[in-house]
A and B are shown apart, each in its own frame.
Chain A
Amino acid sequence: MSYSDQAAGNLLNHKLPDYRDEDWKYTHYSGFEHYKKLQTSGNPIAHPPLARRSTTPFHEDAWIAVVVNGILQANLSNLPNHSTGIRVAKLSEAISDDSGLEPGYSPGALALAKGHYYSQWAMAQGAEGLFIRVNSGIVAEKHLLIHTINDIQQPQQVLPTHHLIVLESNAALTLSETQEGSGEGMSLSLQEIHLSNQARLEHSQLQLWGNEFECIQQVLVAQQTESHYAHFAYCGGGAKVRNQLTVMQEGQLALTELTGLVLPGVGKHVDNQTLIHHQSPHTSSRQRYRSLVAREGTSVFNGKVYVNPGAQKTDAYQHHASLLMHETAVSNAKPELEIYADDVKCSHGATAGMLDAGEIHYMRSRGLSEVQARMMLQEAFVRDLLDSLPGESLRLWCHNHCSDRLNVLNQLSI
């Protein structure tokens, strides 16, 4: 049975999640039934997104994969050639020519068991996307940028994509994604990532969805011994966004670092869920998320650390901080620990609050305007988070984008 048939079978046992499901308590998509009728397959858009490429945060000489509605646009892309040991292809191509898909890395290997309703649905539709493989021992000499564009033809279309990313042992890659979409559409994105022994993936996802656009995304990562997964999420757009990041630390000494910066728009909703599953001894994870919530905006953070029996010497740290920019802003947080091993070091912290009036007053008494003072304090709130990002150009781009967005959100929040 193909993985999409299996997913279709799984769907029979799932019902559409609603507020009664613990994981979907704060974010649910009651309109999805309606969306489902209007699935769009990938029609290439008429206008090439070259103009936008210049706004992306990456080196000129990055490899670029342009993906429109799930379909790789080879003519608009600049892909690594065969000799680099890196393959970037359509998922369907990789499945049909079968060259890169060892059994453990087949599509659905992670998502059939761990995927939520929407991921099963995406697979059941046979969603198209990318297959990326970095061969054993290859350290990619350039960044790889995936430029994702969702281009709806009519309102309430849902656009599923499915990427499969495999880093063989000792391989290393820096992968950055920009995700764009506008109009009343929905992106349904599933990614399965396999990191073999000592593989290293630096993964940034910059969500720049339009104000009416919705997104449900699930990234599933399986990490083998001494692999390193670093993920940065920038949520700078969208009407209702739900990101789920599930990391299974299967091998010893695996290291996971998750960083998130969340800026829901006015009246918008962004939900980030993380699960780090420590399955082996001597694994570590570090999670830092910050949310700045504007007028009528909602930020949800649900981070779970799960430590298996026998996963001794696990070291897990998690912190979430929320800054509420307006009296109508809402923050829901649920940092969870579930621990079945005794020789572990796990801690989490969460804070929520607004800017300190005394600090603003102090700055105003030195001659700054209220808006300037707010901006300065908000930027300070995110600075050390951004400063820890790898790559100068990414850092700079984020600082700028974040400043611009804060500027707009502040004006709308006053």
Chain B
Amino acid sequence: MSQSEQKLLEQLSERDYPHGFESDIEQEIIPKGLSEDTIRFISQRKNEPEWLLQWRLKAYRHWLGMKEPSWQKLIYPPIDYQDISYFAAPKSGPVLNSLDELDPEIKSTYDRLGIPLEEQMMLAGVAVDAVLDSVSVVTTFKEKLAEKNVIFCSISEAVHQYPELVRTYLGTIVPYTDNYFAALNSAVFTDGSFVYIPPGVRCPMELSTYFRINARGTGQFERTLIIACDDSYVSYLEGCTAPKRDENQLHAAVVELVAMDRGEVKYSTVQNWYPGNKEGKGGIYNFVTKRGLCKGTSSKISWTQVETGSAITWKYPSVVLQGDDSRGEFYSVAMTTHLQQADTGTKMIHIGKNTQSRIVSKGISAGRSQNSYRGLVKIRKSAAKARNYSQCDSLLMGNRCGAHTFPYFEIHQPTAIVEHEATTSKIAEDILFYCTQRGLSRESAIAMIVNGYAREVLDHLPMEFAVEARKLLAISLEGSVG
């Protein structure tokens, strides 16, 4: 390795986290600890109906009997679930309907994150739900969406306004028995987004949620539910950041999607939670359960994720392909540097006939990080003529990191066609020489090559997000150049 590359890789591991500031917002935080009383408090504080409290309590009791999963390729000290505060909210009060009502400090928090709440409202027409710590602080564009009968609000509000819808679907795609973190989330979730697209409606704008963990000593447990009725379409974007802290903070979210006949949900994530410093101190533990159900015939669910943040990422956005002719997609870029660990991938469960799934995963490991793809393609006996194509590529930068691929294929139907390819490589010297010979510095050549490598995935992001994601990948490398 040349000296300049050595230096680059060192600096790469030291890239700075630009969203690491902390906002001085008046907060209400309950004491640390988890018990049935905590859950009753949260439920009461949110004025929830009895059925929801009972559901939370059932989830909590189930969780008490569960063990934290250990099969994933992640190493972290045991989490003390009693050392977390399960509720933190800005004091300024209830959910607002317009930005004018927002606490200026909160607004400035989002401005500093570069989330153009106003700008997007004006120009792009993206409706935004902003979740700060545990609660949704602002949802924009309500009226415009209401014209089309699209519901986009916080899940707390939906519990009151649309109790039947919430009750019908909540926990049906990810039941609280699903896994340890889903059970915990079901017990203590505080807020999140709710989306309902009525039959025949193509949602007139991108819907977007920005998640931000601000308070110290808290965890974030949001829950999102998206329902796309017959012949509807919605594109939903999610972004996340958190302040720099020495402590590890837990983020255990649940996202449930359901698509009816010919309904389509496109769910995009740019995850940039604080990854911790170069010694691996601090950073978010991102333990997330995301699953979509293609319930109707010819429905479609597509996950696109760009994962650059978090000390630890544990997430497998999945699709259950129940409806005949339904389609599931998973496009992922996961970049890990210094001591980050990512164990991420997808599950595609084919049940209906002629169902199709496509998996494209691009892992990039640098520093001393560990980056694993883990995926399951399951073709049930009922899934005649199902198709799957998977491609998992890993790019290694430096010789102290690891890249791993753990794909599972369970094929119970002979008319299925399943294809999988995986490669692992580093950026070849002759490619770097070609670029530098044309005048690019080694660093910008690497940034350009990495972006090119991720392009197939980035192209699936909505325009505004793609630009942000490209910048994010480049910044991560650019900050490295002295």
- What is A's interface to B at a CB cutoff of 8 Å? 22, 309-310, 312, 322, 324-354
Please determine whether A350 and B407 come into contact, CB atoms closer than 8 angstroms.
yes
Residues of B within 8 A of A322 (CB): 411
Please determine whether A354 and B414 come into contact, CB atoms closer than 8 angstroms.
yes
Bound-complex Cα distance A327 to B381 (A): 8
Please determine whether B422 and A342 come into contact, CB atoms closer than 8 angstroms.
no
Please determine whether B399 and A310 come into contact, CB atoms closer than 8 angstroms.
yes
The 26 sampled A-B contact pairs (Cβ below 8 Å) are A309-B400, A324-B414, A325-B414, A327-B381, A328-B381, A331-B409, A332-B410, A334-B406, A334-B407, A336-B405, A337-B405, A337-B424, A338-B402, A339-B403, A339-B404, A345-B425, A347-B422, A348-B420, A348-B421, A349-B419, A349-B421, A350-B407, A350-B409, A350-B420, A351-B418, A352-B416
Knowing A334-B406, A335-B422 are in contact, say whether A353-B399 is a contact too (CB < 8 A): no
B412 in the interface, Cβ–Cβ < 8 Å?
Answer: yes
Name which residue of chain B comes closest to A329, CB basis.
Answer: B414
- Interface size class for chain B? 20 to 34
Bound-complex Cα distance A327 to B411 (A): 10
Knowing A342-B401, A350-B407, A354-B415 are in contact, say whether A22-B71 is a contact too (CB < 8 A): yes
Interface 1/0 per residue, B416-450 and A, CB below 8 Å: 11111111111000000000000000000000000
Task: Choose the segment among B90-98, B188-196, B390-398, B474-482 that binds chain A (4+ C-beta atoms closer than 8 Å).
Answer: B390-398
Residues of B within 8 A of A354 (CB): 414-415
Name which residue of chain A comes closest to B388, CB basis.
Answer: A352
Residues of A within 8 A of B413 (CB): 324, 327
Q: How far is the CB of B408 from chain A (nearest CB, A)?
A: 5
Residues of B within 8 A of A346 (CB): 423-425
Bound-complex Cα distance A239 to B426 (A): 44
List which B51-72 residues lie within 8 A (CB) of chain A: 71
Bound-complex Cα distance A344 to B411 (A): 31
Bound-complex Cα distance A167 to B29 (A): 69
Please determine whether B407 and A335 come into contact, CB atoms closer than 8 angstroms.
yes
Bound-complex Cα distance A312 to B400 (A): 12
Please determine whether A353 and B407 come into contact, CB atoms closer than 8 angstroms.
no
Residues of B within 8 A of A340 (CB): 401-402
Q: How far is the CB of B152 from chain A (nearest CB, A)?
A: 41
Please determine whether B416 and A353 come into contact, CB atoms closer than 8 angstroms.
yes
Please determine whether B406 and A336 come into contact, CB atoms closer than 8 angstroms.
yes
Please determine whether A332 and B409 come into contact, CB atoms closer than 8 angstroms.
yes
A/B pair count, beta carbons within 8 Å: 112
Residues of B within 8 A of A347 (CB): 421-424
Q: How far is the CB of B342 from chain A (nearest CB, A)?
A: 14
Bound-complex Cα distance A349 to B421 (A): 4
Residues of B within 8 A of A352 (CB): 409, 411, 416-418
Bound-complex Cα distance A334 to B345 (A): 14
From A325, A332, A348, B411 is in contact (CB under 8 Å) with A332
Residues of A contacting B: mostly: strand
Residues of A within 8 A of B409 (CB): 331-334, 350, 352
Knowing A343-B426, A352-B409 are in contact, say whether A337-B403 is a contact too (CB < 8 A): yes
11 A-B pairs besides A349-B420, A350-B407 with CB distance below 8 A are A324-B414, A334-B407, A337-B405, A338-B402, A339-B394, A339-B403, A342-B399, A344-B425, A345-B425, A347-B424, A350-B418
Name which residue of chain B comes closest to A354, CB basis.
Answer: B414
Bound-complex Cα distance A378 to B245 (A): 60
Please determine whether A337 and B394 come into contact, CB atoms closer than 8 angstroms.
yes
Which of A322, A329, A353 is the most central at the interface, judged by chain B CB atoms within 10 Å of its CB? A353
Closest 7 CB pairs of A and B: A324-B414, A342-B396, A354-B414, A337-B405, A353-B417, A346-B424, A333-B409
From B381, B397, B400, B404, A338 is in contact (CB under 8 Å) with B404
Residues of A within 8 A of B414 (CB): 324-327, 329, 353-354
Bound-complex Cα distance A3 to B426 (A): 43
Q: How far is the CB of A336 from chain B (nearest CB, A)?
A: 5
Bound-complex Cα distance A197 to B276 (A): 46
Please determine whether A339 and B396 come into contact, CB atoms closer than 8 angstroms.
yes
Q: How far is the CB of B68 from chain A (nearest CB, A)?
A: 15
Bound-complex Cα distance A353 to B377 (A): 13
Bound-complex Cα distance A158 to B409 (A): 32
Knowing A327-B413, A342-B397 are in contact, say whether A337-B425 is a contact too (CB < 8 A): no
Residues of B within 8 A of A351 (CB): 417-420
Name which residue of chain A comes closest to B417, CB basis.
Answer: A353
Please determine whether B422 and A348 come into contact, CB atoms closer than 8 angstroms.
yes
Please determine whether A339 and B406 come into contact, CB atoms closer than 8 angstroms.
no
Bound-complex Cα distance A350 to B426 (A): 22
Name which residue of chain A comes closest to B421, CB basis.
Answer: A349
Bound-complex Cα distance A336 to B394 (A): 13
Bound-complex Cα distance A67 to B399 (A): 48
Bound-complex Cα distance A110 to B418 (A): 37
Please determine whether A331 and B411 come into contact, CB atoms closer than 8 angstroms.
yes
Residues of A within 8 A of B401 (CB): 340, 342
Bound-complex Cα distance A328 to B426 (A): 42
Name which residue of chain B comes closest to A355, CB basis.
Answer: B414
Residues of B within 8 A of A336 (CB): 404-407
Q: How far is the CB of A61 from chain B (nearest CB, A)?
A: 44
Residues of A within 8 A of B400 (CB): 309
Name which residue of chain A comes closest to B392, CB basis.
Answer: A337
Bound-complex Cα distance A247 to B88 (A): 53
Please determine whether B426 and A342 come into contact, CB atoms closer than 8 angstroms.
yes
Name which residue of chain B comes closest to A356, CB basis.
Answer: B417
Q: How far is the CB of B81 from chain A (nearest CB, A)?
A: 24
Residues of A within 8 A of B402 (CB): 338-340
Bound-complex Cα distance A180 to B410 (A): 30
Name which residue of chain A comes closest to B387, CB basis.
Answer: A353
Q: How far is the CB of A258 from chain B (nearest CB, A)?
A: 18
Residues of A within 8 A of B396 (CB): 339, 341-342, 344
Q: How far is the CB of B75 from chain A (nearest CB, A)?
A: 14
Bound-complex Cα distance A335 to B405 (A): 8
Name which residue of chain A comes closest to B391, CB basis.
Answer: A349
Name which residue of chain A comes closest to B366, CB basis.
Answer: A342
Bound-complex Cα distance A332 to B418 (A): 11
Residues of A within 8 A of B404 (CB): 336-339
Residues of A within 8 A of B398 (CB): 342
Q: How far is the CB of A351 from chain B (nearest CB, A)?
A: 5
Knowing A327-B413, A335-B407, A337-B394 are in contact, say whether A353-B71 is a contact too (CB < 8 A): no
